[in-house]
Amino acid sequence: MTHIPVHGGPDALGVPRFDFSTNSNACGPCPYALAAVQQADATRYPDPQYTAMKQQLAAFHGVAAQRIVLAASASEFIHRISAVHQRQRVYLPQHHYGDYLQAAQAWSLALSDAAQAQLLWACEPSSPLGQAHAGLPVLVDGLRADQQLVLDCAYAPLRLEGRASLDAAQRDRVWQMWTPNKALGLTGIRAAYAIAPLGADTAALQALCPSWPVGAHGVALLQAWCVSASQQWLAQSLVRLREWKARQLAVCKALGWECLPSDANFFCARPGGDDLPLRLQQLRACGIKLRDATSFGLPGYVRLGVLPPLAQDALVSAS
């Protein structure tokens, strides 16, 4: 049976007017990143070694440039590192992004507990819950030489409360996968990168990488990500997102929905009543899209990205 990935965002009906189904920064797009993308020179190939961009990303994170591994997207990196570990064992969090499992199945990785796995996945803040990965420091401290842990940092820039579980030394022991397009509100630009563990051999991953994994627009996005103006804009957007989130939680609770705790710009909630798929279809017909969390292992729940008050009021009117 063909696997059909489940994602938020536009669908066969087009772009929802009020799209709660994605976790993109609703304050976006970042004007500095948007301008950089619009001005990108698409008439030429990027440098195939991405020398300047790798140096910028390395300086931004305070690591050596040789630790930067570029990817066409987070999903592409997920498949590529899974290919490196094909026919081995993989550990997945209880609730997780579906591409981890899809890649594991495609490359014949057997699901396993953390102790037996060679490839381990973690995400913090997690998806779909937006919470800390329970026991992550202990997991990292116990890594053996034959194990690699990938920390998905997609939502780290969109953390609204709490703090990261790992210190700098622990982060140096794991792969860190970064996808700035969410934080910058430009999810249509596909570009990502990973920071390799200190001293890791990246040859196998690099050998599987196609030429020019990141196009001119992706290069512009990643370079803009490192600019102080973009980071200042992001910091300001988090202030507004905290205000919107507090209001959105109050709105959902007033509707009688059970809301789960989250540190990020999204959260999961259980609407009251029966036949959730039908209710989601009815909302979609009204231009409102929510993400059914069943594919995350949370049947009966939806995941909602934080949106402005106008969208929240539309949800109330349609519910």
3-state secondary structure 96-131: CCHHHHHHHHHCCCEECCCCCCCEEEEECCCCCCCC
How much of the chain, in percent, has pLDDT values that exceed 90?
92
Residue 10's pLDDT is 79
Q: What is the DSSP string of 35-81?
A: HHHHT--TTSPPPTT-HHHHHHHHHHHTS-GGGEEEES-HHHHHHHH
pLDDT above 70 for 290 = yes
Please give the pLDDT value at position 2: 46
Mean pLDDT value of segment 81-108: 95
Which burial class, exposed, middle or buried, applies to 295 when counting CB atoms under 10 A from its CB (0-12, 13-18, 19+)?
middle
Query: Which candidate, 124, 213, 222, places its Cα nearest to that of 166?
Result: 124
The pLDDT of residue 250: 98
- The fraction of the chain above a pLDDT of 70, given in percent, is 98
Rounded CA gap, 177 and 174, in Å?
A: 10
CB distance 2 to 241 below 8 Å = no
In the prediction, which pLDDT does 3 show?
53
How many helices and strands, by DSSP H and E, does the chain display?
A: 11, 13
Q: Which helix (H) or strand (E) holds 195?
A: strand 192-195
* CA distance linking residue 252 with residue 260, whole number of Å: 11
Question: Is the CB of residue 197 less than 8 Å from the CB of residue 173?
Answer: yes
Name the fold adopted by 18-23+230-318.
Answer: Aspartate Aminotransferase, domain 1 (3.90.1150)
Give, rounded to a whole angstrom, the gap between the first and last alpha carbons of the chain.
35
Architecture of domain 31-227: 3-Layer(aba) Sandwich (3.40)
Look at residue 13 in the predicted model and tell me its pLDDT.
81
- List the domain boundaries for the chain: 18-23+230-318, 31-227
**pLDDT exceeds cutoff 70 at 155:** yes
Work out the burial of residue 275: count CB atoms within 10 Å of its CB; fewer than 13 is exposed, 13-18 middle, 19 or more buried: exposed
CA 207 vs. chain centroid, Å, equals 25
Task: Please give the distance of CA 159 from its chain centroid, rounded to a whole number.
Answer: 12
Q: Which are the contacts of 58, defined by CB distance < 8 A and separation ≥ 6? A: 64, 65, 67, 68
Quickly count: other Cβ atoms within 10 Å of residue 45's Cβ.
10
Q: What pLDDT score does 14 carry? A: 86
- How confident is the model over 27-34, as a mean pLDDT? 97
Lowest mean pLDDT segment, chosen from 92-101, 245-254, 255-264, 307-316? 92-101
Q: Name the 3-class secondary structure at 217.
A: helix
